[in-house]
Amino acid sequence: MSDTLDTKLWKPRSVSETRKVYQDWAATYDDDVIGSGYATPARLAAIAAKYCARDLPLLDFGCGTGLSGAALFAAGFATIDGTDLTPEMLDIAQGKMIYRALWQGSGDAIAVTRGDYATITATGVVSLGAAPPETLGTLLDCLATGGHLALSFNDPTLADPRYVAALDGVMNDGRAMLVAREHGPHLTGKGMGSDVILLRRL
């Protein structure tokens, strides 16, 4: 088990530094987070399945090694594409045979056209130590009116005013409305929680 979860993760860093963290972590990521009781993917997939069309294409933004995609597949989503910043994480996702398509991308270059996806998910991605707060608005701008964004904010992210302001901002500027929000376990072995949040694009 690597010490990434304990020592390296929950702090702001540049995109290139983030890629290096996940590049170095990719080989042990699944064992580390599953071993720490990673509960957010199933919780986020359940809230998405409740409110979003499962027969329309979904983009798993920041798909990592595919744990979030596996939870979405188990919740009944039929067509899942994935994108991520870190090629080493994508290589592992590729081996899981969950995704229709996978490509390297980031909040600065997602490479989708508005409305391509009825639903976009970001499980553990728009977070302190991963994608920056402004990614929230970028993802919403990839959705047509009526599309959904399901995302999670873990406890360290909920304590960061920049992420809270980004969430408030997209609701206050009329881009999104809150459909559902639930607090629950994130990494049970670390005693850490997360909010899963479902937004509808207006």
Ligand X SMILES: C[S@@+](CC[C@H](N)C(=O)[O-])C[C@H]1O[C@@H](n2cnc3c(N)ncnc32)[C@H](O)[C@@H]1O
Any contact of residue 125 with ligand X (CB under 6 A)? yes
Q: Is 22 exposed, middle or buried (0-12, 13-18, 19+ CB in 10 A)?
A: buried
Touching ligand X, residues 83-112 (CB under 6 A): 84-86, 89, 106-107
Touching ligand X, residues 34-73 (CB under 6 A): 41, 62-64, 67-68
Closest distance to ligand X from the beta carbon of 173 (Å)? 22
Nearer to ligand X, 41 or 147 (CB): 41
For residues 140 and 175, is the Cβ–Cβ distance under 8 A? yes
Selection from 184, 138, 140 nearest residue 158 by Cα: 184
Closest distance to ligand X from the beta carbon of 107 (Å)? 4
* Closest-approach residue to ligand X (CB): 64
> Which tokens in the block code for residue 153?
């904010």
Closest distance to ligand X from the beta carbon of 64 (Å)? 3
Q: How many helices (H) and strands (E) does the chain have?
A: 8, 7
Closest distance to ligand X from the beta carbon of 53 (Å)? 21
Radius of gyration over every alpha carbon of the chain, rounded to an integer in angstroms? 15
> Which tokens in the block code for residue 2?
């690597």
> Which tokens in the block code for residue 4?
């990434």
Nearer to ligand X, 42 or 176 (CB): 42
Q: Residue 72 and residue 127: Cα distance in Å, rounded?
A: 20
Closest distance to ligand X from the beta carbon of 46 (Å)? 14
Instruction: Choose which of 75, 98, 128, 130 interacts with ligand X (CB under 6 A).
Output: 130
Residues of the shown chain interacting with ligand X in the complex, contacts defined by CB under 6 A: 15, 18, 22, 41, 62-64, 67-68, 84-86, 89, 106-107, 123-125, 130-131
